[in-house]
Amino acid sequence: MSSDSPIKSPTDEDFMREALKEARTAMDEDEVPVGAVIVQDGRIVARAHNQRETLKDPTAHAEMIALTQASAAVERWRLTDMTIYVTLEPCAMCAGALVLARIGRLVYAARDPKAGACGSVYDVLRDGRLNHCPEVTEGVCEAEASDLLKRFFHARRRQPDGASDSATSEQFQ
């Protein structure tokens, strides 16, 4: 390979891999493995993972934490010039927050058939009744993201302390 090959600008896959790193951190912390990064002009301005158990906070989803970080980084709440990469389809709360933040674009990996609000159960971001409809791309690094979630819930089911099959019904929430 020649050394003067042009520098490749990062792709959606590259940024989703960063979000997957966050998801793995969540897994290490015994949290449902979901990660997110927010990108502005090809640069990551926020990275976060689900911390619901750690913070004992039902709103501590990766997207919510990342939005707060990104707004703090640029000192404004309107994030029209940014793209968020999330390893799992956002829920209704997070989809609502993305609309409120006027996020420019959403890229997510795996669908959440039980609670997804960006195409699965609801389609908040493409609801024309709202005054802001971000662009949505799905399925980027889908296999890696869903494999991580499957491994997490599989490991949980095998725990002897009764974190039983009900964990599956809670899957991805």
If one asks whether residue 61 binds Zn ion (CB under 5 A), the answer comes out as yes
The number of CA neighbours under 13 Å toward the Cβ of 136 is: 23
Stretch of 58-66, 120-128, 145-153, 159-167 contacting Zn ion, by CB under 5 A: 58-66
Q: Interface with Zn ion includes 94 (CB under 5 A)?
A: yes
Nearest approach, Cβ of residue 5 and Zn ion (Å): 39
Q: Does 37 bind Zn ion (CB under 5 A)?
A: no
Token digits of residue 9: 């600008």
Number of residues binding to Zn ion, judged by CB under 5 A: 3
Residue 17's SS3 state is: helix
CA atoms within 13 A on the CB side of 151: 14
Q: Is 145 exposed, middle or buried (0-12, 13-18, 19+ CB in 10 A)?
A: buried
Comparison of 94 and 103: residue with beta carbon closer to Zn ion: 94
**Which residue is nearest to Zn ion, using beta carbons?**
94
91 makes contact with Zn ion (CB under 5 A): yes
In the complex, minimum distance from the CB of residue 93 to Zn ion, in angstroms, rounded to a whole number: 5
DSSP structure string for 23-75: HHHHHHTTS---EEEEEETTEEEEEEE--HHHHT-TT--HHHHHHHHHHHHHT
Please identify, among the stretches 38-46, 85-93, 110-118, 155-163, the one whose residues bind Zn ion according to the rule CB under 5 A: 85-93
Structure tokens that stand for 78 in this block: 């309107």
Is there a catalytic annotation at residue 63?
yes
User: Min. distance of Cβ 8 from Zn ion in angstroms?
Assistant: 32
Which residues make up the interface to Zn ion (CB under 5 A)?
61, 91, 94
Catalytic residue IDs: 63
